[in-house]
Amino acid sequence: MRQASVDFYSEGVRLRGILRSPDEMSGSAPAIVQGPGWLGLKDAKLYLPYHEALTAAGFHVLIFDYRGFGDSDGDRGILLPQMQLEDLQNAVTYLTTRDNVDADNLGVFGSGGTGGGNAVLLAAADRRVRVAVSQVPVADGEDWLHRMRREYEWQEFLARLDADRKQRVLSGTGELVHPREEIMVATPERKAINVKGDVDSRIPTSVPLRCAEAIMRYRPIDVVGLVAPTPLLIIGVADDAVTPTDHAVALYEQAGAPKRLIMQRHTTHYAAYQQYGAEVIPEIVGWYRAGFDGGAIDMRTQIRDTDTYETLNLKATSS
């Protein structure tokens, strides 16, 4: 796998990314764009096994830092999903400017909370995206934040948001909070592991509380029906305490065909990446390989919708 640092602009702000490519290639090749997951950065080691497999299959992968995160320019730590969607669309446009990219075969990969949800949003909004993979996604931001809290904590949180809105209009400034502790609430598993330890020290530790309101308006579930006929692969974790399992199932059930749901069992949100990587990653590669069929002649096949969802039961080959 080769990689190169790249720059492009999103609404006038310079974004920095990594373009990973096959070791050997001639002509142009399909390309996949990825915006990191919740509070993720482009150079997180977590994503490397996926990118290594995708480039080995002959695809480019562009991963970048959103505005205000990592090495990209912009106001630090502004968590606004609409801005992230704009960044993803501009990343797609950037790929179309490269001679070594097959602009008729572009895909999106999103992993981890809003990372998975953003893949759905991009595929619904941008017909240049011909294949989509969404891993452990958030479908409804308000439900996501609500279910992290006991009911009295949720009511206190809503009152805090209301007080912050009033403070902003009266003083021009609002409350700053830690995004992983006071917007999202980290699970005991997240606190105990080091899955993003290589980049955690570089994420913002202070963001405006108003970003929580934007997350509460975040609803990939409302647009997932617009993704079809783009093939959509959704990957979930059974009994997921971080991104609720029913979010992945609901996205699958409301999506049009062609679609597939992979459900990883007997694991946890963070453990699944390594525990089932040997089984899930080839499924991801195969999904892109089957879906990348674009060209000068546009041919589409509608696979019949069904009332049931497909579950792929996986067993780890190693712990």
pLDDT of residue 296: 54
What's the rounded Cα separation, in Å, for the pair 243 and 236? 9
Tokens of 145: 């934040």
Do 243 and 137 contact (CB within 8 A), yes or no?
yes
- 234-256 as b/e, with b when 16 or more CB fall inside 10 Å? bbbbbebbbbbbebbbbbbbbbb
Tokens of 237: 């974790």
User: What residues in the chain have per-residue pLDDT under 50?
Assistant: 309, 311, 317-319
What's the rounded Cα separation, in Å, for the pair 18 and 38? 18
Amino acid at 139: A
Q: What is the dihedral of CA 121, 122, 124, 126, to 10 degrees?
A: 150
Do 197 and 227 contact (CB within 8 A), yes or no?
no
Every domain of the chain and the residues it spans = 2-139+221-291
pLDDT of residue 89: 98
Whole-Å CA distances, 49 to 11, 141, 200: 31, 28, 19
- DSSP H/E element including 116: helix 114-125
Conformational region of residue 172, where left means phi above 0, alpha means psi within -120 to 50, and beta covers everything else = left
pLDDT of residue 93: 98
Which option is the CATH number for 2-139+221-291: 3.30.420.240, 1.10.290.10, 3.40.640.10, 3.40.50.1820?
3.40.50.1820
78 contacts: CB under 8 Å, gap ≥ 6: 67, 68, 207, 208, 211
pLDDT of residue 318: 45
pLDDT of residue 293: 82
What's the rounded Cα separation, in Å, for the pair 84 and 76? 13
For residue 239, give the DSSP letter. T
Amino acid at 184: M
What's the rounded Cα separation, in Å, for the pair 112 and 258? 22
pLDDT of residue 319: 40
- DSSP-based three-state secondary structure for 3: strand
For residue 198, give the DSSP letter. T
